[in-house]
Amino acid sequence: METRNKLYEGKAKILFETDDPNVILQRFKDDATAFNGKKRGTIANKGYVNNQVSAHLYRYLSSYFIPTHFLDVVSDTEMTVVKLEMIPIEVVVRNIAAGSLLKRSDHKEGDVLPVPLLEFFLKDDDKGDPQISREGILEQELCTAEDLEILSRLALKTNAVLKSFWQRRNIKLVDFKLEFGKNHEGKIVLGDEISPDTCRFWDATTDEKMDKDRFRQDLGQVEETYEAIRRRVFMEDHLETE
Ligand code: ADP
Ligand code: UDP
């Protein structure tokens, strides 16, 4: 592809414009950050893994009629996606207690939640991405009540679809973060990425952590674990029953 203007460079990805005003190119970087940017490093081949994993999961979600921004993989670390007007909310779905939930509840790490828990965080690095209520979202006019209803339903459906996808690959989908935006027709679409950077994955047999927590908590074998997740995504799906 030809040289394109950079639209945005974030912590994990760079966005470039393309010839089509409704399409952007998303390049995944090997750079890794944690604790709101306080911990920094690189994970070799992370860009490749996150591009491949996200592409496969978006294709899979589309087959369940979940609208995503994904268009095409154009290189090892790049995909084209529909340009969205992002809603500045991080939507977190949890199946098992881990991470920041442990500080805000009596749950111990590993507690299976009776129902999937939906949480919202304001996407604002300067404020440290604080948790925000549904009422707070509406009061700050981050999106409309109808948008919030739609994206909540899409997040829970994404969880149901991905939970069973990973279960068949012997992985527990502990929790994950999604971002949504609106396309040029105003329709709500799932954007950003779905990868070991944005999900917690535990091996279903050993409970071994297979995601960015290996980087966050200095558990070692970081690159190897990202690659193992990539391989499991592409594992033959013998148990597919749907
Ligand atoms: P951050 O901005 O948190 O540092 P990234 O490095 O992942 O994160 O940057 C990617 C940025 O692109 C995010 O701000 C995300 O909201 C935004 N984004 C994701 N998908 C799209 C899309 N389809 N259209 C426009 N922006 C998007
Ligand atoms: N997450 C993310 N980006 C963020 C914050 C969280 O992708 O800026 C993901 C994280 O990887 C985990 C889920 O969202 O899968 C829930 O994260 P949590 O609230 O437990 O926060 P953290 O552990 O990052 O403090």
Q: Tens digits of per-residue pLDDT, 143-170?
A: 999 999 999 999 999 999 999 999 999 9
116 shares a domain with 147:
yes
Tally of domains within the chain: 2
Quote the Cα angle for 222-204-240, to 5°.
110
Ligand 2 atom nearest 102 alpha carbon: 20
With 50 as the cut, is the pLDDT of residue 87 above it?
Answer: yes
* Contact between 4 and 16 (Cβ < 8 Å): yes
Domain presence at residue 231? no
Instruction: Report yes or no on 227 lying in a domain.
Output: no
- Its pTM stands at 0.97
pLDDT, tens digit, 9 for 90 and up, residues 173-198 = 999 999 999 999 999 999 999 999 99
> Do 106 and 43 belong together in one domain?
no
The CATH number of the domain where 172 resides is what?
3.30.470.20
Same domain (yes/no): 209, 109: yes
Kindly state the percentage of the chain with pLDDT values over 70: 96
Same domain, yes or no, for 156 and 217? Answer: yes
Q: Mark which of 82, 117, 143 sits at the end of a domain.
A: 82
Among the bound ligands, the one closest to the CA of 130: 2
Q: What is the CATH number of the domain that holds 34?
A: 3.30.200.20
Distance 98 CA to ligand 2 centre (A): 9
In the chain, the largest separation of any two C-alpha atoms, in whole Å, equals: 53
User: 172 C-alpha to center of ligand 2: Å?
Assistant: 16
- The verdict on residue 51 lying in a domain is yes
- The confidence score (pLDDT) of residue 229 equals 98
Q: Are residues 170 and 66 in the same domain?
A: no
* Nearest atom of ligand 1 to the alpha carbon of 15: 12
Whether residue 99 has pLDDT greater than 70: yes
CA of 20 relative to ligand 2 center, distance in Å: 32
Residues 196 and 208 in one domain: yes
Pocket test for ligand 1, best of 179, 192, 198, 212 (most atoms within 8 A of CB): 192
> Residue 235: what pLDDT?
87
Give residue 204's domain range. Answer: 85-221
C-alpha 116/C-alpha 60 separation (Å) is: 21
Q: Kindly state whether residues 186 and 97 are assigned to the same domain.
A: yes
Residue 31: Cβ-neighbour burial (10 angstroms; 0-12, 13-18, 19+): middle
CB within 8 A of 8, min separation 6: which ones? 14, 15
Residues 77 and 102 in one domain: no
Q: What is the pLDDT of residues 50-75, one digit of tens each?
A: 999 999 999 999 999 999 999 999 99
